[in-house]
């Protein structure tokens, strides 16, 4: 019978008081907001990203989608355009906010009272790099990373593949939201 006994978690461990991370202002003295971040380039956002964002929104109080500003990488959409599209597409969730960041993700987390990073794992190939990043982020700032397995409908899907297929006239409907589909068509027509 002893093996069936439910052992309570260590004091404070569910609310994060067990570690030495300083609490953000709004977290002091009241229930802690469980705020997580979904970081990425989102150039453009796909239904695979959206699946992870919506599932995170169902689990946590607040989800911050953080668009990486990477001046060295050539993108199809500007950061402003990506933020705008993400804002419109995720407006229906109510607890999803879109931000932009550059530099270290752990610094963005510290500045915004974020305790965990949510990452989608598509395939084993994602795992090695993601695990290294997760361990480094924990080592640097005790920021946790939580992995969500991709919806099998989207396990093959990436922004770069969407762009490549669309560029050569392939059909990407069903892989990206309608708004992205029309923006992609416009942008690629401009480039011709
Ligand atoms: P990509 O160009 O590979 O789509 P992003 O940097 O925009 O890259 O992706 C941000 C994060 O979104 C990735 O680290 C991954 O965790 C997640 N992601 C991207 N595509 C998918 C997908 N199809 N299914 C699940 N998660 C995904």
Under DSSP, the state recorded for 74 is -
Among residues of the chain, what percentage have pLDDT more than 90? 76
Tell me the pLDDT tens digit for each residue of 93-139.
Answer: 999 999 999 999 999 999 999 999 999 999 888 899 999 999 999 99
Among 37, 44, 47, 48, which residue has the most ligand 1 atoms within 8 Å of its CB, making it the best to mutate?
Answer: 48
119 is catalytic: no
Give the pTM: 0.84
Q: Where are the alpha helices (DSSP H) in 42-119?
A: 47-59, 79-90, 105-112
pLDDT at position 141 over 70: yes
What are the boundaries of each domain within the chain? 31-157
Q: Which long-range contacts (CB under 8 A, 24 or more apart) does 17-25 make?
A: 19/142, 20/142, 21/115, 21/141, 21/142, 23/113, 24/112, 24/113, 25/113
Q: Write down the pLDDT at residue 164.
A: 96
Tell me how crowded residue 22 is: count the other CB atoms within 10 A of its CB.
9
pLDDT at position 7 over 60: no
Tell me the pLDDT tens digit for each residue of 9-51.
Answer: 444 444 444 455 555 555 556 677 799 999 999 999 999 999 9
Pairing state of beta strands 35-40 and 144-149?
A: unpaired
Catalytic residue among 35, 41, 49, 183: 49
Tell me the pLDDT tens digit for each residue of 55-96.
Answer: 999 999 999 999 999 988 899 999 999 999 999 999 999 999
Bond into 53 cis (ω within 30): no
Catalytic residue among 35, 82, 119, 122: 122
pLDDT at position 155 over 90: yes
Atom of ligand 1 nearest to the CA of 118: 16
CA of residue 46 to ligand 1 center, whole Å = 8
73 is catalytic: yes
Q: Angle at CA 48, nearest 5°, toward 43 and 53? A: 90
CATH number for domain 31-157, candidates 3.40.50.620, 1.10.10.10, 3.40.50.720, 3.60.15.10: 3.40.50.620
49 is catalytic: yes
CA distances from 135 to 84, 104, 138, 140 (A): 32, 14, 5, 9
CA of residue 48 to ligand 1 center, whole Å = 7
Q: Write down the pLDDT at residue 114.
A: 96
Distance CA(40)–CA(186), nearest Å, equals 23
Closest CA to 88 of 187, 182, 7: 182
CA of residue 96 to ligand 1 center, whole Å = 17
């Amino acid at each position: 019978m002893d093996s069936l006994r439910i052992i309570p978690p260590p004091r404070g461990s569910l609310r994060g008081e067990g570690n030495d991370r300083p609490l953000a202002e709004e977290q002091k003295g009241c229930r802690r907001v469980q705020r997580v971040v979904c970081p990425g380039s989102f150039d453009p956002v796909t239904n695979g990203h959206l699946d992870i964002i919506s599932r995170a929104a169902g689990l946590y109080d607040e989800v911050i989608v953080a668009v990486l500003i990477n001046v060295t990488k050539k993108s199809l959409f500007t950061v402003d355009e990506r933020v705008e599209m993400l804002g419109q597409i995720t407006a229906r969730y109510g607890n999803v906010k879109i931000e932009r960041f550059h530099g270290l993700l752990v610094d963005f987390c510290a500045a915004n009272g974020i305790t965990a990073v949510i990452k989608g794992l598509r395939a084993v190939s994602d795992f090695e790099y993601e695990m290294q990043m997760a361990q480094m982020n924990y080592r640097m700032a005790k920021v946790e990373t939580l992995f969500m397995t991709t919806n099998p409908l989207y396990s093959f899907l990436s922004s770069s593949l969407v762009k490549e297929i669309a560029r050569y006239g392939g059909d990407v409907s069903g892989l990206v939201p309608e708004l992205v589909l029309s923006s992609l068509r416009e942008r690629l027509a401009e480039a011709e």
